[in-house]
Amino acid sequence: MTNRSSSSSNKSEQTFQAPKNLIVPFILLSLRNFNCHGYKILQQLIDFGFSTIDQGNLYRILRQLEKEEMVKSEWDTSEAGPAKRIYSLTEAGENYLKTCVYSLEQYQLMLNQFFSIYTKMFTLPNSKEEKNSEEKNNKE
């Protein structure tokens, strides 16, 4: 249970912690049109809004996705410096991304319903007060 005083804290102080597996569709989406180095994927995830990403965890997820044949990688030795892995989306990854899109659409519908109910619960008393105030002003 959350304390009401902590729930009323400033939104900028709150950090969004996405469910662990929610990162996978974002990784696959990042690879949808471009082959990327891990660091570029990390930057795109930050741009998507993932504020806390452990770089080591990202590479573990990428290895797991490669094991599941949703992504593939190869070494890029074309540039000076150490070789880098370039990740790309496979057909299985593309299919999984489509499944994720459907699931996320359903999840979004649920969230929209939740926030609609939540908003009604917390705006109705204010609306009644406003109506009473308006009625009072109209009588005067």
**High-pLDDT (> 90) share of the chain, %:** 53
Phi-psi region of 81 (alpha: psi -120 to 50; beta: other; left: phi over 0): left
Q: E strands of the chain, at which residues?
A: 36-37, 71-76, 84-89
pLDDT value at residue 122: 83
pTM of the model: 0.70
Alpha helices in 11-90 (DSSP H): 23-30, 38-48, 55-67
pLDDT, average across residues 39-68: 93
Residue 30 pLDDT > 90, yes or no? yes
Q: What is the mean pLDDT of the chain?
A: 82
pLDDT value at 137 more than 90: no
